[in-house]
Amino acid sequence: QDPQSPEAEQFRLAAGQIPEVPFGLSSSAAVLSHYGASANTVALFRRVDSDRRDLDMNNRDVDAKKLTRFVRINELRLVTEYNPVTAIGVMQGSLQFNLLLITDKMSPKHPERMRKFRTVAELYKGKILFILLDSNLKSNERVLSYFQLKKSQLPALAIFHTPDDEHVVLTVDEISTEHVQDFCNRFLQ
């Protein structure tokens, strides 16, 4: 409630460390009431799945480092890169459908693939969580094996329904917006 409190200072420090995430600080009773938040609570609003995660700052050991970790774990972007930190937020997401683009981030085609993938992600916001999985990360090898993919078969799209683990994998030579949309629509139907 106090914008000059030590907790507010830790909040400002965390905000400075994550410039790509918009932060806001309010001590207004009307704002707290509107969002159903209690004092000294950090509320993380995710536009991708319209979900919210709260962190109680009344616990005195919450510092900028822990707050930054909370944001990194729980934030979901239009396209969320899967890694050991974001895995928790991805697994706890409220969307039942996840679409993975499994690709080599070092490929010269990667920027164009991501542009097309983001374009389609915008169309399915709130329905499907779009995830980038870098095939070069050793920590992602288990995911490749889960989908029974070898690096020579990439890039690939993998869509799955989280409640029942139903999934479909599609290896593709080229990522196009039409191809990705088609794949999503067929699976959703």
Whether 43 contacts 52, CB under 8 Å: yes
Domain of 34 in residue numbering reads as 6-74
- Residues 118, 59: Cα–Cα separation, whole Å: 38
| The model's pTM | 0.80
Instruction: Encode pLDDT of 108-120 as tens digits.
Output: 999 999 999 999 9
Within this chain, do residues 109 and 135 fall inside the same structural domain, yes or no?
Answer: yes
Q: Are residues 67 and 97 in the same domain?
A: no
Domain count, the chain: 2
> What is the chain's pLDDT, residue by residue, as a tens digit (189 residues)?
677 888 888 899 999 999 888 999 888 889 889 998 887 889 999 878 888 999 988 876 888 999 999 998 888 888 999 988 888 888 888 889 999 999 999 999 999 999 999 999 999 998 999 999 999 999 999 999 999 999 999 999 999 998 888 999 999 888 899 999 999 999 998
DSSP annotation of 86 reads: T
CA distances from 11 to 6, 18, 73, 97, 185 (A): 9, 11, 16, 33, 41
In a domain, 1, yes or no: no
- Are 111 and 53 within one domain? no
**pLDDT, tens digit, for every residue of 153-174?**
999 999 999 888 899 999 988 8
